[in-house]
Amino acid sequence: MPASTPKPPQSLDALLAQLRADFPNLSAQFQSGARYLLDHPRDIAIQSMRKVAGNAGVQPATLVRLSQALGFEGWQGLRELFVEAVRDGDSQPYARRARKVVRESGSSRMFAEMIEVQHHNLDALLASNADALPRAAELLAAAPMVHVAGFRSCFPIAFSFHYIYGLFRSSVRLIRGDAGTLEMELRALSPKDAVLVAGFAPYSQESMRVATAAREAGCTVIALTDSTVAPIALEADCTLLFAIDSPSFFPSITSGVAMVEALVEHLLAKKGKGAIRALEQTEGQLHRTGAYLPSRRG
């Protein structure tokens, strides 16, 4: 315990953000407790401390000490933030944020604020991924087959990577899980393949199933996510981070798409002349098959 007790977080969002930031420096027991708090926030408000501890694989005393390390007198003070969030409707964060957007709908600052936040999100990419981006490109380039997955709002991120990378590499496969076929698609994972999984909080069950199946199959896992302790990041060999901040009601995927574009650029550069030849063949085929409108001349 530090000599001076820290001031406890005043909201659930602040608590979860602090746990993510402090996670790498926590003890193994504290990490187990923090991981459960991060991954199962809705359960904390309705379960006893003994039940939470059992699910987290720690002793109840560990949760008490973790709470005190965060500035609370004990477990109950920490748990109250989860209870308040449920009481205030934080189980529906999009609706809560939407009410704020509607209240401020007449503000001339809305569009300017959106652009400003997106600038910050994009600026954060370089600081967060300077080392991880080349590493991710190496892992993907070395794999005999690359699988990519992203569900719900992260599907555009996954699809963009699949489409753009597929312009010069044929061995790229999009995991979709249409009509409940996810388990069937996961059977195609093979050792030494690479799997890129995109997701942000609240994390989808499907993205976690893909990451876990990839790990069990002996694949290399690259997580594209919002936190180094996101569930899919904890399964990953390499983690690429993107910020999801937005003044609107829904988290932004803008920097996630930008991260994909930067990653494909690295992959193109690594493949060199081979990528250029593949691109020429793809473009020629697209034009021959009428994929694009003919350009007007004269």
Q: Are residues 120 and 60 in the same domain?
A: no
pLDDT at 248: 83
Q: Are residues 117 and 78 in the same domain?
A: no
| pLDDT for 90 | 45
CATH (domain of 79): 1.10.10.10
Burial class (CB in 10 A: 0-12, 13-18, 19+), 60: middle
| Confidence at residue 106, expressed as pLDDT on a 0 to 100 scale | 60
- Give residue 97's pLDDT: 66
Which pLDDT does position 295 carry in this prediction?
77
Predicted pLDDT of residue 2: 47
Q: Kindly state whether residues 130 and 192 are assigned to the same domain.
A: yes
**pLDDT score of 84:** 78
| pLDDT of amino acid 89 | 47
- Residue 106 falls within a domain, yes or no? no
Same domain, 121 and 264: yes
Residues 81 and 195 in one domain: no
What is the reported pLDDT for 249?
82
71 shares its domain with 141: no
State whether 188 and 276 are in the same domain. yes
Same domain, yes or no, for 51 and 159? no
Mean pLDDT, consecutive 10-residue stretches, the chain (298 aa), reads 71 86 91 88 81 93 95 92 67 63 67 86 88 96 98 97 97 95 95 96 91 96 89 91 86 95 96 93 92 78
Residue 293 placed within a domain: no
The reported pLDDT for the residue numbered 47 is 80
The CATH number of the domain where 128 resides is what?
3.40.50.10490
In terms of pTM, does the model score above 0.85? Answer: no
